[in-house]
Structure 1
Amino acid sequence: MSIETQPRSVSQAQQYEQCGWRYYLQRVERVPPRPAAWSHHGTAFHAAVEAYELSERTMPADQAVQLFSDRYSALVNAGLEREPDTDRWLAAGLPGGADIERRYRLGQDQVRAYVDWAEAHPTETWKTPEDKPALELYFLVELGGVNVRGYIDQVVQDPDGALRPRDWKTGTTKSRFQLEVYTVALRKAYDVEVNKADWYLAKNGGLSRPLKMDAITEEQVAERFVAMDAGVKAGDFPPQPGFQCRFCDVSHACFFKSNLSGNLK
């Protein structure tokens, strides 16, 4: 499937808006990205928490932590095969090797903290009409004539019966747009009521404040997808060099990149 015809996603839309040239290098030219421990950290944390929730919160904390450790180690080892020089890994504030080690311990602590939090805060994961727990829930909906797909980390059911999409975050960057898309997708795919959304923030060991979603409309969300879809189909990929170049995993192939690219060589 070509880039012009494939379904869009939140990450595509946000990446295109932040820097169209990064979108082009990564998704059209298929430039091999530099590895980043923060990405492996997030993936492994999600895997451990999903498994814990799928066990209906019966999985022992030690087992969940071990699952994180195994997944993180496997991802890092695969990354080291592609790029053995850890000084060339993306990292924030630390050399690449030190960041890899720090996130191993941090992720273990965050998984254990999630289990502690979950035991103190009972949550009912919604089940789809097919009786499947809404964890890593896939959706594919049409918004403004554009096919949009994605995965929702968790959908919980509030006491009043309304559904609430929840995103698990290990980093500091949060996207309200992501939760808005999840809200609209749930309404459209399942004809359900969704008035709130939130994040589980691993850095804080708890939930964010609920975000009100009752006023969010399909038309509002669709507008951004329609704009990026039109830009991609027109071959318009405007570069926006700046501070974000420091965290761009394809900046090594970019001649627009800012000189603020930190530890990248």
Structure 2
Amino acid sequence: MRLPEHISHSARETLERCAKQYFLTRVVKAPQRPALWLAGGSAVHEATENYDLLHFADMAEDFQAADVWNAFFDAQLAEAREKEENENLWRKSATEPIEVWRRMGLQFVQAYVDWRERSPWEIWTTPDGFPAIELDVSGKLPGCPVEIKAYLDRVFWDPVLKKLVIVDLKTGKRAPKNADQFGTYRALLKAKYDVDADMGVPFMNRRAALGKPYDLTEYTPELVGDVYGEAWSAIQDYMAAGSFPADTSDCFLCDVKAACHAQNGPLAHLYDPASPGYPIPF
């Protein structure tokens, strides 16, 4: 078994939540049960990205919200159906089935467009001439031996306060619990472009407004690199020990339960070395 060649904020969060889930999703790549909320969220991100690219090119009038949303949502649903034909097995909220997401997702997209039209913030352009829309800032930081993958939803320039602001779109009900995701982005942006983005803020699509802003000045490349370096060392230790322990305190949102021995998953013997039926010693 080979470890991934990189790490990310979501991978580190998964590792901290449940090392077994990290192993199943990132190392052996067990089948992941589709989630309707992920399909809808991805489509919202794609549709708003389409809007901002058109806006950046002074072609915002060509953006047709309903057509763009439906096209991306249908594509996400098709991808989910390729993984699991039976939609009854998808992870989804009982109050937000596909037909609700069809209407709700369009509202999320329009809420972002409306905010953009009234906001004075401008999409930042990188020193190499790229608009900071789904900006790839992946790279290495001091203290972490592997690449940290990261794509920033948006980086804006605030012409009033004369500062860069990192914005991440959130289609879920909960706001970020801390600034760590934004801090990771800030450190990688600094490492790649030598610029300081000292504020991070979520755009809460369900509220049609920005959420709580976070001060990011403490998130230096050195501090963030050390955090990810420790996470990578933990992954290597788990691998050396031959065991990625499972935390079964909160498995509701886990998408690889079918491959987990701790959950008596029917596929555990194929993917989880803790399963007695696993064919190859770990």
The TM-score range, normalised by the shorter chain, is 0.7 to 0.9
Deviation at 1:162, TM superposition (A): 2.4
Match of 1:109 in 2: 107
Q: Which residue of 2 aligns with 1:169?
A: 170
Match of residue 137 from structure 2: 139
Deviation of 1:161 (Å): 3.4
TM-score in terms of structure 2 length: 0.83
| Alpha-carbon contact 1:251-1:257 (below 8 Å) kept | yes
SS at match of 1:203: coil
CA drift at 1:34: 0.6
Q: 1:206 to 1:61 in 2, by over 3 A?
A: farther
Q: Cα gap change, 1:192/1:61 in structure 2, threshold over 3 Å: closer, same or farther?
A: same
**1:99 and 1:231 mapped to 2: Cα distance?**
39
1:255 equivalenced with 2:261 (yes/no):
yes
Aligned length: 254
What RMSD over aligned residues (CA atoms) do the two structures have, in Å?
2.2
Aligned to 2:85: 84
TM superposition shift of 1:123: 1.9
Task: Determine helix, strand or coil for the equivalent of 1:141.
Answer: coil
Q: 1:209-257, CA deviations, whole angstroms, 9 ceiling, x for partnerless residues?
A: 32111223333322331122112223152211122x1111111111223
CA deviations on 1:31-50 (whole Å, 9 max, x unpaired) are 11111111111111011111
Aligned partners of 2:179 and 2:216 also within 8 Å = no
Structure 1 residues 124 and 28: CA distance shift in structure 2, 3 A? same
Distance 2:235 2:252 in 1: 24
Cα deviations across residues 153-172 of structure 1 (Å, max 9, x unaligned)? 00011224321111111113
Structure 2 gap segments, 5+ residues each: 266-282
- For structure 1, which segment, 165-174 or 79-88, has the greater mean C-alpha deviation from structure 2 after superposition? 79-88
Report the equivalent of 2:66: 65
> For residues 255 and 216 of structure 1, do their structure 2 counterparts lie closer, same or farther at Cα, with a shift above 3 Å needed?
same
* Higher RCO (CA < 8 A, seq sep 6+): 1
**Map 1:33-52 → 2, pairs under 5 A:** 33-52=32-51
3-state SS of the aligned residue for 1:214? coil
Unpaired runs of 5+ in structure 1?
A: 260-265
Task: Using the TM superposition, give the Cα deviation of residue 2 of structure 1 relative to its aligned residue in structure 2, in angstroms.
Answer: 4.1
| Structure 2: distance between partners of 1:231 and 1:119 | 45
CA separation of 1:66 and 1:8: change in aligned 2, threshold 3 A: same
**CA drift at 1:30:** 1.3
Does structure 1 retain, via aligned residues, the 8 Å contact 2:144–2:228? no
**How far 1:141 moved relative to its partner?**
2.5
